[in-house]
Amino acid sequence: MQLLRYCVGLDISKDSLQVCLSVIDADGRVVVKGSTKVANKVTTFGQLVQWVTRHRKLDDLPLRYVMESTGVYHEAVAWFLYQHDQAVSILLPNKAKHYLKSLGYKSKNDKIDAQGLARMGLEQQLTLWKPLSKNIYSLRMLTRQHQRFQELKTQCRNQQHALDYSALGDDFLVKQNTKLLAVYDQQLEALERAIQQLIKDDEVLHLQVKRLIAIKGLALLSVAVLIAETNGFEGFTNQRQLVSYAGYDVIENQSGNRSGKTRISKKGNSRIRRILHLPAFNAVRFGEPTCQALFERVYQRTNYKMKAYVAVQKKLLLLAYAVWRHEVDYNPSYFMSQSRIGKKIVPTSGTTQDQSTVVGLSFG
């Protein structure tokens, strides 16, 4: 029996790690080699590696660790394994959940989940995880804090509106809400300054952000969220992966003669869709050529403005991805001219590039 590779499934909770080591052979059979449980603490992660080494009889076979992204509880062990040169894959919980259902398990517990993750890592080609850089990790915490405060501010304003129009007002509550709104405004301004300073202190990040905010509709905060939530667009090899990650991929509902509604999946990072909502309006309002043309085309075809604005959101995401990935300055007039295909172009940075090197031709 020829063995091919090992995989360690980790079912992670706040306090513990349920571990399962499995191996697959050339015939596709998966065999569990051992299971254990360790505490979810940095001091015990070394014991985890030692346990895997003892039960892994063939050191020359590839080994991978597979886990779900469970809030922040998986981050410590993922960082530890990555720093010790271990291959790590992190899955979205819904993807792992549907895979386990497909195996026909009727029961559910930590041990079964760990076995399922190990089996999934053996049977599928999963993407290797790469951690955020320190600055992008800090940027993500700042932008998410900004979102939380903005949501609290909106909630407070709605409460204030309800008090203003209620039959019996309460001056004490009105004063409290007024003070809270002032605090939220102060903290939001402080967060925006911190985001701006972090980007300014990183020379590479500052240059890339400067290129992105040249796209009409995208401001500093929206660009910061895009960078933070996509890890600087790291790990995306094509546009389809990015579109799916953000939840803009299209779901069809058709069978035989029946044709249901076609919509976006929304199975992705909701923070990206949230931050691109207002920039899409601004891109059309202020005449971003590519976005405005797309809006008019989709609106004319569907007669739904929001469908057209969602298409513009997707367009802005892909434009940002193109500019970031190829490190070129944004030239809005270029995307409006299909007659330039195959010719030389001159980006605004002054360097001459072949048309094929500047992405975005397929965004229309």
What pLDDT digit, counting tens, does each position of 232-276 carry? 998 788 899 899 999 999 888 777 777 777 888 888 899 999 999
Provide the phi-psi class of 66: left if phi over 0, else alpha when psi is between -120 and 50, else beta: beta
354: Cβ contacts below 8 Å, ≥ 6 apart: 344, 345
pLDDT tens digits, 170-192: 889 999 999 999 999 999 999 99
Q: Residue 331: its pLDDT value, please?
A: 84
Domain 3-123: assigned CATH number: 3.30.420.40
Bridge partner residues of 22 (DSSP) = 7, 32
Domain ranges of the chain: 3-123, 134-201, 220-357
Q: Residue 348: its pLDDT value, please?
A: 40
Determine what percent of the chain is predicted with pLDDT higher than 90.
64
Q: Is the pLDDT of residue 20 over 50?
A: yes
- Look at 22-31, 99-108, 157-166 and tell me which has the smallest mean pLDDT: 99-108
Instruction: Give alpha helix (H) positions in 103-170.
Output: 110-123, 134-164
pLDDT band at 334 (very low <50, low <70, confident <90, very high): low
Q: What is the 3-class SS of 234-259, one letter each residue?
A: CCCCCHHHHHHHHCCCEECCEECCEE
Distance, in Å, from the CA atom of 2 to the CA atom of 9, rounded to the nearest integer, reads 21
Phi, psi of 90 (to 5 degrees): -120, 125
What counts of helices (H) and strands (E) characterise the chain? 14, 11
The whole-model pTM stands at 0.77
